[in-house]
């Protein structure tokens, strides 16, 4: 797992849950250490209350059982599981670090996006359900509100254009970031009007905006592939992108035409 894949996994869980998710210390131990350090430093992961249930380490059955706590005379707390499955087992001690867990939620994701893009975070409520306003983005041509869409997956939205957040994040020099160039391009090309009341010419601009945003995502992926797998043909790079969700059903020949910035 790469650091970028770790963040994408975390964002996918928040999107699927539509809210807060918890990650155990045991699971974080399987993730790349630089990714975990960055997630904590950038406050995408914050410490949550200890788990109230845990996998019992008393035998090979690995039952999930409630955790009990008892204060010791020295002021510390002993945590344990009471086994009711076996005659030869009663209390099974649980180390405190096994109960630690970390939390990621929608406000943390919004704060991460705002910080990455150097935005003043908005306290204005979105008028559309399942949208959370993040802040105003200054493009080259206009200023628009950037919002986080909560619908199956997390996505950034400006006007009538939407791009999955997972397509915009990257990891470099020990930190995660959001691609500011693509976000500004989306802001510049996405009209504010409700598409139900938009004239035909403006609707064409909406479609064009989405297309240009897709091209920008392909171009970013092409640069990544070129860096990771240098020396391949243009067809090879285009075919790799064709296999990804960001291709959105386009064939490799179309991708090849537009993957150069």
Q: Residue 221 pLDDT more than 50?
A: yes
- Note the pLDDT of residue 95: 72
- Is 229 domain-assigned? yes
Task: Give domain status of residue 113, yes or no.
Answer: yes
For 41-69, write each residue's pLDDT tens digit: 999 999 988 777 777 776 767 777 787 87
HSE-CB at 217 with a 13 A cutoff on CA atoms is 23
Residues 81 and 133 both lie in one domain: no
Q: Compute the Cα dihedral for 125, 151, 217, 174 and give only its sign.
A: positive
Judge if 204 and 163 occupy the same domain.
yes
pLDDT at position 207 over 60: no
Among 10-19, 93-102, 104-113, 224-233, where is mean pLDDT lowest?
93-102
Specify the higher pLDDT residue, 143 or 202: 143
| CB burial string 171-195: b at 16+ within 10 A, e below | beeeebbbbeebbbbbbbbbbeeee
Q: Is the confidence at residue 154, as pLDDT, over 50?
A: yes
Strand partners, 54: 65
* 258 pLDDT more than 90: no
Residue range(s) defining the domain that contains residue 70? 51-99
Q: Per-residue pLDDT for 175 more than 60?
A: yes
Last residue of a domain, one of 99, 129, 159: 99
State the pLDDT at residue 190: 67
Distance CA 209, CA 175 (A): 29
Predicted pLDDT of residue 201 = 42
Element (H, E) at 146: strand 143-151
CA separation for the pair 31, 44 (Å, rounded): 15
Please report whether residue 16 resides in a domain.
Answer: no
- 14 burial (CB, 10 Å; 0-12 / 13-18 / 19+) is buried
Q: CA 56, CA 63: separation in Å to the nearest integer? A: 6
- pLDDT over 90 at 121, yes or no: no
Q: Are residues 111 and 79 in the same domain?
A: no
Which range has highest mean pLDDT (10-19, 36-45, 196-205, 220-229)? Answer: 36-45
Output the CA angle 23-27-30, nearest 5 degrees.
Answer: 140
Distance of CA 155 to the CA centre of its chain: 9
């Amino acid at each position: 797992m790469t650091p970028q894949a770790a963040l994408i996994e975390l964002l996918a869980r928040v999107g699927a849950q539509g809210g807060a998710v918890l990650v155990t210390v045991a699971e974080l131990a399987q993730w790349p250490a630089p990714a975990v350090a960055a997630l904590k430093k950038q406050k995408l992961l914050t410490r949550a209350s200890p788990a109230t249930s845990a996998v019992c380490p008393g035998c090979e059955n690995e039952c999930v059982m409630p955790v009990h706590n008892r204060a010791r005379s020295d002021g510390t707390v002993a945590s344990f599981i009471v086994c009711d499955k076996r005659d030869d087992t009663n209390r099974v001690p649980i180390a405190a670090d096994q109960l630690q867990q970390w939390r990621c939620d929608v406000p943390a994701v919004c704060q991460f996006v705002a910080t990455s893009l150097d935005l003043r975070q908005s306290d204005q409520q979105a008028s559309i359900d399942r949208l959370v306003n993040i802040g105003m983005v200054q493009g080259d041509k206009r200023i628009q509100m950037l919002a986080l869409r909560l619908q199956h997956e997390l996505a950034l939205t400006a006007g009538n254009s939407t791009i999955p957040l997972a397509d915009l994040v990257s990891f470099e020099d020990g930190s995660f970031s959001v691609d500011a160039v693509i976000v500004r391009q989306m802001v510049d090309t996405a009209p504010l009007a409700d598409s139900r009341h938009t004239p035909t010419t403006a609707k064409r601009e909406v479609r064009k905006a989405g297309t240009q945003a897709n091209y920008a995502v392909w171009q970013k992926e092409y640069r990544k592939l070129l860096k990771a797998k240098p020396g391949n043909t243009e067809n090879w790079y285009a075919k790799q992108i064709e296999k990804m969700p960001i291709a959105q059903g386009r064939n490799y020949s179309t991708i090849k035409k537009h993957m150069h910035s």
